[in-house]
Amino acid sequence: MKRKTRVALITSGGDCQGLNAAIRGVGKALFEQVDNIEIFGMYDGYRGLIERDYKFMEPKDFSGIITSGGTILGTSRQHYIPGKDIVDENGQSLIPDMLDTYNRLGLDCLIVMGGNGTQKSAKLLADAGMNVITLPKTIDNDIWGTDTTFGFQSAVDIATNVIDYIHSTASSHSRIFVVELMGRDAGWLTLSAGIASGADVVLIPEIPYDVDKVAELIEARKKTGRTFSIVACAEGAVSVHDAKLDEEASRRKKENSLYPTVSYAIAAELEALTGQEARVAVPGHYQRGGPPCPYDRVLATRFGAAAAQLVIQKQYNRMVAIQAEEIVSIPLDEAASRTKFLPIDHPLIRVAREIGICFGD
């Protein structure tokens, strides 16, 4: 009798739109093409692998979930020591427990869906002897080796919609509005939403801003009769002054700040510099909630089907990616090796500058 192929599905880290579509893509492709397939769904990310908490999945589990946000398997975060280990609250390694579950279930492969940190932690599992295939998901679009990630376009749609709605109230009250969008390390989301929504200023981590330059643009707008301004600000935006601080000095400054986030500090500074009322809007987790947009449903399905092919071909320790509209796979150690920051000479930045968007530089 032919040996069963056994895989486990894991959704790790922060959730985003398209996870269920990717789960569905993997499951449907495997059940369609592989005889004697067994699929285990690990609950709450790596926790399920650590504690042997899982669901034996049947074909019906993959039906009717493509439109659902979040993840039917749940997710969680584990403490990750970069390049070294995954540990519990006491600093004890959790990898032996994960390897034990992997061996006890006789798994052929872990299919792990996650963001930048997940790619790095998944490589540690591969280094420990587990076969791993990963799928790139994050609204930040900052995973190396793929042109885009699922979840990103859905978040762009939501962030754009938020700024669209802010326009009318900003105009009615002649206010400056600083809209803080997700993106701690990379500005892909803020840039795309800023262009799509007609923001006047886009502040991203890759281009340190001078608040005086932003104030100058706002004053220039007022002189031409444009009484309101919209600032799309990434949560990781940094001023030219703070960009010069070392890590410890930066941490101390944040701890002693009067403001909860950078957007509130920017709004206060702009109000003082321009004399114009400034407000802050923070859509927060709305950006990664709700159903995936059609683009992400298709992309996640393509990624899921490609992961199934890698299982069939026994091509492990790779990440599924999209490059120049083609679905490919790259070595996991390559995907985990670096972060995909937004290049400051990227065509979208050039376009933004050409239409007058200010980056505060």
Q: How far is Cα 78 from Cα 293, in angstroms, rounded to an integer? A: 28
Which phi and psi (to 5°) does residue 18 adopt? 100, -10
Domain 5-150+292-335 has what CATH class? alpha beta
Encode pLDDT of 176-188 as tens digits.
999 999 999 999 9
Does 2 score more than 70 pLDDT? Answer: no
Are 198 and 230 in contact by the 8 Å Cβ rule? The answer is yes
User: What is the residue-averaged pLDDT of the chain?
Assistant: 93
> Domains of the chain: which residue ranges?
5-150+292-335, 155-288
Encode pLDDT of 21-64 as tens digits.
999 999 999 999 998 999 999 999 999 999 999 999 999 999 99
pLDDT given at position 1: 54
pLDDT given at position 139: 95
Q: What is the CATH topology of the domain spanning 155-288? A: Rossmann fold (3.40.50)
Record the pTM.
Answer: 0.92
pLDDT given at position 54: 95
Q: How far is Cα 269 from Cα 216, in angstroms, rounded to an integer? A: 12
> Which segments of 70-108 are extended strands (E)?
79-81, 85-87
Q: How far is Cα 292 from Cα 305, in angstroms, rounded to an integer? A: 17
Encode pLDDT of 240-253 as tens digits.
998 888 888 888 88
Encode pLDDT of 254-309 as tens digits.
888 888 999 999 999 999 999 999 999 999 888 999 999 999 999 999 999 999 99
Could you list the active site residues? Answer: 140
Tell me whether the CATH fold assigned to 5-150+292-335 matches the one assigned to 155-288: yes
Map tokens 């798994």 to a residue. 107
> Mean of the pLDDT values across residues 306-328?
96
- Which is nearest to 287 in space by CA: 360, 192, 208, 221? 192
User: What tokens were used for 238?
Assistant: 């940094």
